[in-house]
Amino acid sequence: MGRNYHAHAQELQASVFKDNDANPESWPIVFTKVPECVVGPYDDVKVPASNISEQIDYEAELAVVIGKGGKNISRGDAMQHVFGYTVVNDVTARDVQMRHQQWDMGKSFDTFCPMGPWLVTADELDGTKTRVRCWVNGELRQDGPTENLIFDIPTLIETVSRGITLYPGDIIATGTPAGVGLGMKPPRFLKAGDVVRIEIDGLGVIENKFS
């Protein structure tokens, strides 16, 4: 999900797309990442050549894992379809995102979705009451509670399932808190050799070197 934390929506208000007058609180912003971009919690993330992208960014996110499939799932029934939670880094090539004026390509490069380290079941963790943190080379960049989501998990499931059948194993990344590289002044993007560490309370840590 895009721009699903209030502070993150504000920090990117004047960037990324031409239609920045759109209100991110009207509807959830839904995009996809191809499954082939998923890598493990400690695998390297491959930095593309500079002629392809020079603006690689990180996005620490709580991810919902679907356990029971369905379509047109109501908000009231949505949590019955959640099996558990995991950690995702929604790595993004910002210049590719802006160049093509859409989300999917710049978020789906090979290795652009580190995930793990565990899948914690919904009866063991309340995904609405945890905290997302991200460090780059030891510097804390992101720190936000999931209570600050603009659209909560049931609303996200209801929205996606209106037109797309959800299947067991499908993953919905719920959005990232403020503190991404693009939102800094000046922007601070990742480069080869950087290490990104993401921790979500109750879900463990993923740590990936960009190479």
More confident residue, 168 or 2: 168
Whether the pLDDT of residue 20 is over 70: the answer is no
Contact of 103 with 143, CB cutoff 8 Å: no
Contact of 151 with 159, CB cutoff 8 Å: yes
Which amino acid type is present at position 22? A
Q: How confident is the model at residue 157 (pLDDT cuts 50, 70, 90)?
A: very high
Q: What are phi and psi of 11, to 5 degrees?
A: -70, -20
Whether the pLDDT of residue 14 is over 70: the answer is no
Domains of the chain, start order: 6-209 (3.90.850.10)
E strand or H helix that includes residue 135: strand 131-136
Nearest-CA neighbor of 134 among 91, 89, 94, 194? 89
The pLDDT of residue 9? 67
End-to-end CA distance of the chain: give it in Å, rounded.
Answer: 26
| pLDDT tens, position by position, 33-65 | 999 999 999 999 999 999 999 999 999 999 999
Which amino acid type is present at position 189? F
Instruction: Give the count of alpha carbons within 13 A of 132, CB side only.
Output: 30
Length of the chain: 211
**Structure letter (DSSP) for residue 211:** -
| pLDDT tens, position by position, 122-156 | 999 999 999 999 999 999 999 999 999 999 999 99
